[in-house]
Every structure is written in structure tokens, then in C-alpha cells.
Chains A and B, each alone.
Chain A
Amino acid sequence: MDIKEIIQPENLVHKRTPLMTDATLSYCPGCGHGTAHHLVMEVIEEMGIQQDTIGIAPVGCSVLAYDFMDIDMSQAAHGRAPAVATGIKRLWPEKYVFTYQGDGDLAAIGTAETIHACNRGENIVIIFINNGIYGMTGGQMAPTTLEGMKSSTTPYGRDAKQMGHPLKITELVAQLPGTYYVTRQAVHKAGNVRKTRKAIMKAFEVQRDKKGLAFVEIVSNCNSGWKMTPNESNEWMEEHMFPFYPLGDIKVEGKIVKDLLKELM
């Protein structure tokens, strides 16, 4: 069979979602941000809620998310996306509101906003991209940087005695009564992408059913910040990030499903 016979409109199985604009993504080659963007937009497309969704772009690499996502979006001050989302959702309870934040935004400068939005149980979705580094500003240490991990501000590796321990903010918010669905996923392999898509879908369904806050962490790579090729960084992530940030659901239907104490040991 000739390739031209296969490439026919009736045989189409996957194409770029029209909810992503034609703007070229500003991310480095191989960055998980792009995959995560597409997933969020695919879910919104599948649920048919493009007209009813408001996204909050953070400060960080994904600061330009409003250029790429063809939905209504607002920009928040650094770390304040959950606070802005709270305001929008309370004024427009029938709209779908989500924040899209990186680890420097959500787990460092926005820790207070994150924890209090989760504790209040605001009916929003938080998409949290964790790559263990401040990507946009040049690969500085973030709260999520692993122990011993090199960054531009920890050239000899993160020393817990001097710089503190890496922060598992997802496990932290899972313990708050306001969160209804908390999960950690990845987007570097096709299987993980499919699971992440399901998780994001579930998060938006939690919001639709007004159950509480849904928090989806996506462990991602930062090949530029980690000074690796995209595939090397994905392997490094599997080897080093996943043992500390294990994938899977943490809280489902308001109940913690993972033995957190065991994992924190």
C-alpha cells in the first residue's frame, strides 16, 4: 500500500488540537511543557468547554501560555495564580478555571497561595509542572531540586544542611481537607501521556461536579537547565526524579490512597 493512500482524511487518527494556536511554542526542544499544554487543550476540546474555560498563566517558562492556548486567560503575579483563580471562580462559579504553574512559581514564591487555596478547597484545577529547577531564569535551584542535584546556584549539588530539603508540595497539599483529587504524572513516554490525559480529564470532571480542588503534578524535564539532551534528561528523570517523586494517584475522591509516611521516610 502506498503512503499516499494511507494519508487520507478518513484515516486520520491524531492531529494537533485546534485549541492550540498557530504560535510556535517558546519552549526548548523536548520540553515537557509543550506536551502538557497539548494535553490540557485536548481535554478541554473533548469536554467541549472552550468557551467556558479560563486559564491562569503563571510567571516562569509558561508565562506565555496565553499565546499558545486558544481560551480566555489571565496573567497572575509570580506565584499568585491560585489567588487569581479563586477570585475568578468565585465570581463565575459556572466557569472552568485552572492554573498552570511551574515549581518555582507554585512551590516557592506562591507556597502560601497554593496551600491556602488547597486548604479552602477552592473549586479549581491546578496543573503543576515540576522540573526541579528554575528553567526560565537560567537553571537556579528551586525548592523541588533534588539533594545532590547540580544547578547554576548549586554547582556542587544541593546540600540539605545548607540549602534545606527538596519540597514534596504535592504530598503536602494532599493532606489538606480541601483537596479532592491529587495525582502525580509524567509526559515523557506515550504511556505516561495517556495516563496524564486521563488525570487532567478527571481533574476537570471534579471541578464540573463541584467536589473541590484537583491538583495534577506533572514531573517534567528541563534539558536546558539540566544541561542534557532531551532524551538523556528523560532518562535522568526516570532514574533520579521518579524515586523521590513517585508517580501515581495520591488522593482520590477526598481520600489519601498512598502511604505518605512510608514514602517520606
Chain B
Amino acid sequence: MGKMRGAIVVDTERCKGCEVCIVNCPTDTIGMAEEVNGKGYHYAYMKHPENCTGCANCAIVCPDGVITVYRVKTEK
């Protein structure tokens, strides 16, 4: 059976660093960056990109809609 691999792209300037995506990520993919954006918020990024399955949970709970999700089925 193929394994799902995913990736997210965060619109870092719009992210408000609320961390709701982190608790909704079932695979511990997302973390908060040490750096801050133009508004002074720490923004979400893929801390463990290899874990992401592209389930889109983070994106649908994001209040500011800053996360875009991609998913691909691998053969392995």
C-alpha cells in the first residue's frame, strides 16, 4: 500500500502564531519558528517535514487560513 506524504506551506506574514495547528497535527509535524514575522508573531513551520501525511487538519482549523496543504501518494 502506498504511503501518503504531505507538505504544508505557511503564509508566514499572515500567521498569528496561535498554535492551534500544532495541537491539531496528529503527526507532530508542525512547530513554531524561533524567528518572528513582521507583526512580531512566531510563525508555524514544518519542524518534522518527514512526518507530514497531508491530512490538512492544520489548514482547516487555522483561523487565518494561512496554511496550504499538498499531498502525494508514494509507491513504497
* A interface with B by C-beta (< 8 Å): 1, 3, 5-8, 11-17, 20, 24-25, 27-35, 38, 187-190, 193-194, 229-231, 234
Contacts and interface: CB of A to CB of B under 8 A. Distances in A.
From B9, B17, B22, B61, name the one whose CB has the most chain A CB atoms within 10 angstroms: B61
The 7 closest A-B pairs by CB, nearest first: A34-B63, A30-B18, A29-B16, A190-B57, A29-B18, A16-B65, A6-B7
Contacts of A190: 24, 55-58, 60-61
B49 interface: yes
Contact of B68 (A16, A24, A231, A234): A16
A13 B54 contact: yes
B61 A13 contact: no
A27 B58 CA distance: 18
From B18, B54, B67, name the one whose CB has the most chain A CB atoms within 10 angstroms: B18
B63 A30 contact: yes
Given A1-B74, A8-B70, A13-B56, A38 B16 contact: no
Contacts of B22: 231
A29 B41 CA distance: 9
A35 B66 CA distance: 11
A34 B61 CA distance: 9
17 contacts: A3-B46, A8-B70, A13-B6, A13-B69, A14-B60, A16-B11, A17-B65, A30-B19, A31-B63, A38-B65, A190-B24, A190-B57, A190-B58, A190-B61, A193-B61, A231-B20, A231-B22
A230 B18 contact: yes
B60 A25 contact: no
Given A30-B63, A193-B60, A14 B20 contact: no
Contacts of B60: 14, 35, 190, 193-194
Interface of B: 5-7, 9, 11, 14, 16-20, 22-24, 41, 46, 49, 54-72, 74
B65 to A, nearest CB: 4
Contact of B61 (A12, A20, A24, A188): A188
A28 B20 CA distance: 13
B61 A35 contact: yes
A1 B72 contact: yes
B75 to A, nearest CB: 10
Nearest to B65: A16
Given A13-B56, A189-B61, A234-B20, A5 B14 contact: no
From A11, A20, A33, A187, name the one whose CB has the most chain B CB atoms within 10 angstroms: A11
Given A14-B60, A25-B64, A30-B18, 8 more contacts: A1-B74, A6-B70, A30-B63, A31-B18, A35-B60, A190-B24, A193-B60, A234-B20
Contacts of B61: 35, 187-190, 193
B7 A35 contact: no
A35 B72 contact: no
Nearest to A197: B60
A25 B70 contact: no
